[in-house]
């Protein structure tokens, strides 16, 4: 099959979306298998985070958690946060630390996908003050829905009780 120059960009987009879909399906299998073998009981949904939690996150980690929302037709969850103090936020950008998103109700854990061509779907360059950063977590089978609570762990950093938009 011959591909003209005008068709290369749409073709690349289709190939990229197919890669993401294959990645999500693979993560779904792994997440569901891990959930089936989990022996820990489902955590109860915590109450709304204390108002001082936002201040604590900024003082301790130099970041402000903005939101977690569904994206990619619900098959991914986007975590956005703003860095106010780049020095304090450095541990969140360590490539060796693997972030986890935990569904509060079931205890199911989601990972940041790492496609071979693009690498981990997260920012890992040194942080800058007053910049907003992101990371994507797999959400196989649209398991986590809007309105449910999740916790995010990145090493010692823990953001708890975030309501998915």
Q: Tell me: the pLDDT tens digits for 111-137?
A: 999 999 999 999 889 999 999 999 999
Mean of all residue pLDDT scores within the chain: 80
- Report pTM: 0.69
Q: Residue 31 — pLDDT band, cuts 50, 70, 90?
A: very low
Angle CA(127)–CA(76)–CA(6) in degrees, nearest 5?
Answer: 90
Give the pLDDT confidence score for residue 50 in this predicted structure: 55
Which of 5-9, 124-128, 146-150, 156-160 is the least confident region?
5-9
Among candidates 41, 23, 19, which has minimal Cα distance to 110?
A: 23
| Highest mean pLDDT of the ranges 28-42, 53-67, 150-164 | 150-164
CA of residue 41 relative to chain centroid, distance: 23
Among candidates 159, 37, 150, which has minimal Cα distance to 104?
A: 150
Say if residues 121 and 107 touch (Cβ distance below 8 Å). Answer: no
Q: Would you kindly state where each structural domain of the chain is located, as residue ranges? A: 5-163
Measure the CA–CA gap between 127 and 133, rounded to whole angstroms: 8
Give the pLDDT confidence score for residue 49 in this predicted structure: 55
Give the pLDDT confidence score for residue 55 in this predicted structure: 80
pLDDT at 6 over 60: no
pLDDT at 39 over 70: no
Give the pLDDT confidence score for residue 13 in this predicted structure: 52
């Amino acid at each position: 099959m011959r591909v003209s120059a005008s068709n290369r960009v749409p073709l690349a987009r289709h190939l990229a979306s197919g890669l993401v879909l294959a990645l999500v399906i693979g993560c779904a299998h792994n997440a569901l298998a891990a959930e089936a073998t989990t022996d820990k009981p489902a955590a109860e949904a915590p109450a709304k985070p204390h108002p001082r939690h936002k201040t604590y996150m900024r003082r301790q980690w130099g970041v402000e958690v903005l939101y977690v929302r569904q994206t990619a037709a619900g098959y991914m969850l986007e975590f956005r946060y703003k860095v106010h103090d780049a020095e304090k936020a450095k541990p969140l950008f360590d490539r060796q630390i693997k972030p986890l998103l935990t569904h509060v109700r079931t205890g199911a854990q989601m990972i940041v996908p790492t496609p071979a061509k693009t690498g981990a779907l997260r920012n890992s360059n040194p942080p800058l003050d007053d910049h907003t950063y992101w990371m994507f977590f797999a959400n196989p089978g649209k398991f986590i829905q809007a309105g449910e609570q999740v916790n995010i762990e990145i090493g010692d950093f823990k953001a708890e009780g975030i309501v998915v938009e």
